Chains A and B, each alone.
Chain A
Amino acid sequence: MSTEISTSRHANLMMILRRMVVAAAVVAPLHTGALSQPAQLNRIGLVSVGAPNAGVLGADLIGDFSRRGYVVDRNIVFDRRAAEGKPDRLPTLIDELAAEHVDVIITQGYTAAVAAKERAGKIPVVVTLSGDPVGTGLVASLSHPGGNITGVSEVAAELSAKRLALLKEAVPSVKTVAVLWNADDLGMTLRYKAAELEARRVGIAIVPLGVRAPDDFDTAFAEMTRTPPDAILMVTDVLTVLNRQRVIDFAAERRLPAIYEYAYLTRDGGLMSYGPDVGAIFDRAADLADRILKGANPADLPLELPTRFELAVNLKTAKKLGLTIPESILVRADDVIE
């Protein structure tokens, strides 16, 4: 056998072997693709102290999950529970979700968060719109919440002062402000207190109008009718939201400027609002829930603060009230309703 023959044979062999290897490399992924497992069904429990079909029970949150690749009934199922303004129902609702063995519970509102913390056992909880969880003692700290709780905090308390300042800037003549808040809710009470502190600093008189039940609004309205304030600051929680239209209508009727916390209240007819972007909060909550579903330990997921704040002004309402909103407010408004 001559060396030339040997080398040419060797080269041919190498070429054949290479082709075989390439062919194997092309075929292999087809097999792994065919063997991919069926999607796992994830169960999300949603609890709100408020109305069904609003907040975490609304369409926004489902959209946030869809953007992360979830398809309802294919790989995700939502189990919705609404307390409809009756916080005493919450423990039962949480128990129901625990019995359903949901993978994650997303709560809306401080009372829902407390109920979930007490009764959800080992099920991870993602809290939203529950005020300042550190301030209320719901979690130990933002970076290390501890337990099974994570979620999105609100810069809730401080913002009350900011709202009061914005209200004063929008309507400089304001001297007396009535504050409506759910006095049963610790988170909301903290917000009231922040407003009270700021009012004292800038020389505004506060009329505290704590409410505990829908009927209390009538008492509050009667109080404001008796000694009319110059403006209203409504601390937003499920109780006040459920009665928002009565407040907005009352303010319109009495020609009282009012400031709320979330943009949707301005769109409903409120004069103005300033607060975190709720849509962004739900998006972050969906992200945290997604990561828990993918195996993250909730204890490793710090609570997040909102990064975006919305100032909304309803110029139609302003017009009805005969107010001219200064440019310094409009220039910073994210949402102006004309």
Chain B
Amino acid sequence: MNLPYSRLRARPRRPLFQKYFTALFIAVVVPLLADGASEAWFGYRDQRHTLSQRLQAEARTAAGKIQAFLDDITDQLQWTVQLPWREGMEERHRFDALRLLRQVPAVIEVTLVDGAGVERLHVSRVDPDVVNSGIDRNQDPAVSGARSARIWYGPVTLYEGSEPHITVAVAGAREINGITIAVINLKLIWDVISAIHVGQSGDALVFDGSGRLVAHPDISLVLRGDGNPAATRLKLLQQAAVAGGSGITEGANAENRSVIAAMAPIAGPDWTAIVEQPAQEALMPIRAGLLRTALLLLTGTLFAAALAYFLARRMTGPIAQLENGAQEIGAGHFDHKIEIRTGDELEGLAQRFNDMAVGLAVSQERSERIARLKRFLSPQVAELLESSNQGTLLDSHRAEVVVVFCDLRGFTGFSGSASPEEVMGLLQAYYEALGAIITRCEATLTCFMGDGVMLLLNAPVPCPDPALHGVRMATEMQRSVQTLISGWRARGHTIGFGVGLAKGPATVGRIGYEGRSDYTAIGNVVNLASRICAAAEDGQILIDATVAAEVGSTCALIPLGTRPLRGFAEGIPVFAVAPQQQEWAALPAAK
């Protein structure tokens, strides 16, 4: 019985806890992860789009401001080309130029060219004025440029390799008004560019068409010119931003910090305004969003694990209790109680287990009682007695009983000469043959004595016609045993079988001690039956007068007269059942 249980207790291949835990965990975590991932993805896209839009707007604003700075200068230059170069107008033109210098600090020198392309005046903040130099400026690209486009922007040049300047030329509405060429100190854009802030620490930068830095909040970077690492990095950033067009670009700024940049063109001088914001700052909302989501997912996952663990435990805990209980009950501990208070089906199941244990206990007790009864009653009588709950039948009382004795003749001699296997084999066959008949006839077996058997009829269970029933049983026993004996005789063993019956009052009841009790009868009739049996010869069934009187009408008897029997003072009349009577058909089973 221990083996299957120990096998059951072995670790299951896929424990229930694992399955429940996995299922519950997945049930919570999968929607959580899906939600988190989609939120992170869409959030990232939105933020990225917003960043792009914002930086582009900043770039356009910066470009607009630079454009406004240049437009302001060209507007002022327009004043100097409103009057024609006619005789006597020279002084007016000179005053226009002087006022321009006074008005626009960024202009460091102005050259006035008349309608014929001849330089008439050169005014500078540094050098002495030059009047009517007469230089032909027709070949000057500023002059031809202004003639064709009204406003002409020259390339950015560096004064003494450091300070950036640009030449701007403006032509009058009429050719005779001439052309004004002004040199602009671009350092003054610094006032504009340093006032532009992108986010917290982002900047605006201006590059010329060739990628040279024109304006930067750190004016030193502009003044240092080309050929230093910062300028090279900025050139790369500018190229990337221009290539990136209307999107945003990632790159390194002058300080080699990672930045996000966007560009906008400045149409007039073919410059580019670029706004840059440190990547860390620009991407902070994106990173913060992703971090937030990751944190939520992590916490959610931990919570899901805790929840799944808790629920799986709640589910499998009672199951383990049930399993343990089943093992206890299986081991015969029927008083074991499974305590489950979950209020669900599992509690019901535990209750069923407990009920089953009680039922098993009752059933086992009963089967033990039946087993005890079966020691002297046939199984069906024992069952009947047990189920009808007629416990009083077994109580000691006086009853009119038929006592049947039977034993083998010549067995003692046989057992002395035969091998133990043969002896036991013979006894086995002998008792199997008798047992079948005793059981069928519902006789009460009181005891075995070697090859002898004592049987009772009409006790403890009453029997309608015990004498006749006893004779019929005896007849059948005789026939059955004789069949066996004929086989043994053929093997040379001299063995016989005799039966004796007597009827009379006797005290019946159980004798013995706790767990080992027999049912027996005590009285003169027992001795009588034993003596009659002893008197019977092989093949004979002897009965006393009482039995003979009761079966005489049904059965052919041979009176043998009185016989002196040991223990009896007088001779006792004895009858033998006629041999032909022994041909009776098998008795039907008693009710």
Which positions in A face B, CB cutoff 8 Å? 1, 3, 6-7, 10, 13-14, 17-18, 21, 25, 134, 141-144, 155, 158-159, 161-162, 164-165, 169, 198, 202, 291, 296, 300-305, 307-309, 327-328, 331-334
Cβ of B303 under 8 Å from chain A = yes
B28 touches A302 (CB 8 A): no
State in angstroms the CA–CA spacing of A300 and B480 once bound together: 132
Given contacts A155-B126, A165-B129, contact A302 B105 (CB under 8 A): no
**A61–chain B nearest beta-carbon distance, Å:** 19
Given contacts A332-B98, A334-B102, contact A13 B223 (CB under 8 A): no
B163 touches A158 (CB 8 A): no
**A277–chain B nearest beta-carbon distance, Å:** 10
Which residues on A sit within 8 Å (CB–CB) of B124? Answer: 162
Which residues on B sit within 8 Å (CB–CB) of A328? Answer: 94-95, 98
A6 touches B126 (CB 8 A): no
Given contacts A21-B296, A142-B162, A305-B159, contact A331 B128 (CB under 8 A): no
Q: List 14 A-B contacts (CB under 8 A).
A: A1-B24, A13-B300, A14-B32, A18-B296, A25-B288, A141-B160, A142-B161, A161-B127, A304-B219, A309-B125, A309-B126, A328-B94, A328-B95, A333-B102
Question: In B222-245, which residues have CB < 8 Å from any A CB?
Answer: 223-225
Given contacts A17-B300, A143-B223, A305-B159, contact A164 B188 (CB under 8 A): no
Name B163's closest neighbour in chain A (CB-CB). Answer: A305
A142 touches B160 (CB 8 A): yes
The residue in B27, B28, B32, B162 that gathers the most chain A C-beta atoms within 10 A of its C-beta is B162
State in angstroms the CA–CA spacing of A6 and B35 once bound together: 14
Q: How many A-B residue pairs have CB under 8 A?
A: 99
Which residues on B sit within 8 Å (CB–CB) of A165? Answer: 128-129
Name B158's closest neighbour in chain A (CB-CB). Answer: A143
State in angstroms the CA–CA spacing of A28 and B128 once bound together: 63
Cβ of B220 under 8 Å from chain A = yes
Which residues on A sit within 8 Å (CB–CB) of B224? Answer: 143-144, 300, 302
Which residues on B sit within 8 Å (CB–CB) of A17? Answer: 295-296, 299-300
Cβ of B336 under 8 Å from chain A = no
Which residues on A sit within 8 Å (CB–CB) of B27? Answer: 3, 6
Contact pick for B127, options A1, A162, A302, A333, CB 8 Å: A162
Given contacts A6-B27, A17-B299, contact A332 B102 (CB under 8 A): yes
B162 touches A158 (CB 8 A): no
**B560–chain A nearest beta-carbon distance, Å:** 91
Additional pairs, 7, CB under 8 Å, beyond known A17-B296, A143-B225, A155-B126: A18-B296, A21-B296, A143-B160, A302-B220, A305-B160, A307-B105, A307-B188
Which residues on B sit within 8 Å (CB–CB) of A307? Answer: 105, 185, 187-188
Q: Is the interface on chain B under 10, 10 to 19, 20 to 34, or 35 or more residues? A: 35 or more
Name B218's closest neighbour in chain A (CB-CB). Answer: A291
Cβ of B366 under 8 Å from chain A = no
**A128–chain B nearest beta-carbon distance, Å:** 16
Name B130's closest neighbour in chain A (CB-CB). Answer: A165
Cβ of B176 under 8 Å from chain A = no
**B164–chain A nearest beta-carbon distance, Å:** 11
Cβ of B512 under 8 Å from chain A = no
Name B128's closest neighbour in chain A (CB-CB). Answer: A165
Which residues on A sit within 8 Å (CB–CB) of B125? Answer: 162, 309
Given contacts A162-B126, A162-B127, A307-B185, contact A21 B295 (CB under 8 A): yes
Which residues on A sit within 8 Å (CB–CB) of B543? Answer: none
Question: In B156-175, which residues have CB < 8 Å from any A CB?
Answer: 159-163
State in angstroms the CA–CA spacing of A107 and B138 once bound together: 48
**A14–chain B nearest beta-carbon distance, Å:** 6
State in angstroms the CA–CA spacing of A221 and B24 once bound together: 106
State in angstroms the CA–CA spacing of A25 and B32 once bound together: 23
State in angstroms the CA–CA spacing of A161 and B225 once bound together: 29
Name A134's closest neighbour in chain B (CB-CB). Answer: B160
Which residues on B sit within 8 Å (CB–CB) of A1? Answer: 24, 311
Name A142's closest neighbour in chain B (CB-CB). Answer: B162
Given contacts A21-B296, A307-B187, A308-B105, contact A141 B128 (CB under 8 A): no
Name B100's closest neighbour in chain A (CB-CB). Answer: A332
**B225–chain A nearest beta-carbon distance, Å:** 5
Which residues on A sit within 8 Å (CB–CB) of B163? Answer: 142, 304-305
Given contacts A300-B220, A331-B95, contact A143 B161 (CB under 8 A): yes
State in angstroms the CA–CA spacing of A308 and B187 once bound together: 11
**A39–chain B nearest beta-carbon distance, Å:** 20
**A124–chain B nearest beta-carbon distance, Å:** 13
State in angstroms the CA–CA spacing of A307 and B107 once bound together: 10
Cβ of B566 under 8 Å from chain A = no
Which residues on B sit within 8 Å (CB–CB) of A134? Answer: 160
B300 touches A141 (CB 8 A): no
Which residues on B sit within 8 Å (CB–CB) of A300? Answer: 220, 224
B223 touches A14 (CB 8 A): no
Cβ of B99 under 8 Å from chain A = yes
Cβ of B31 under 8 Å from chain A = yes
Which residues on A sit within 8 Å (CB–CB) of B94? Answer: 328
Which residues on B sit within 8 Å (CB–CB) of A155? Answer: 126
Which residues on A sit within 8 Å (CB–CB) of B295? Answer: 17, 21
State in angstroms the CA–CA spacing of A143 and B292 once bound together: 48
Cβ of B101 under 8 Å from chain A = yes
Which residues on A sit within 8 Å (CB–CB) of B95? Answer: 327-328, 331
B128 touches A164 (CB 8 A): yes
State in angstroms the CA–CA spacing of A164 and B311 once bound together: 99
State in angstroms the CA–CA spacing of A208 and B49 once bound together: 71
Which residues on B sit within 8 Å (CB–CB) of A202? Answer: 128
Which residues on B sit within 8 Å (CB–CB) of A142? Answer: 160-163, 223
Name B220's closest neighbour in chain A (CB-CB). Answer: A301
B187 touches A13 (CB 8 A): no
Contact pick for B102, options A25, A304, A305, A331, CB 8 Å: A331
State in angstroms the CA–CA spacing of A302 and B223 once bound together: 6
**A182–chain B nearest beta-carbon distance, Å:** 22
State in angstroms the CA–CA spacing of A296 and B95 once bound together: 44
**A257–chain B nearest beta-carbon distance, Å:** 17
B126 touches A13 (CB 8 A): no
State in angstroms the CA–CA spacing of A93 and B37 once bound together: 68
Name A14's closest neighbour in chain B (CB-CB). Answer: B296
A304 touches B101 (CB 8 A): no
Which residues on B sit within 8 Å (CB–CB) of A327? Answer: 95
Question: In B537-584, which residues have CB < 8 Å from any A CB?
Answer: none
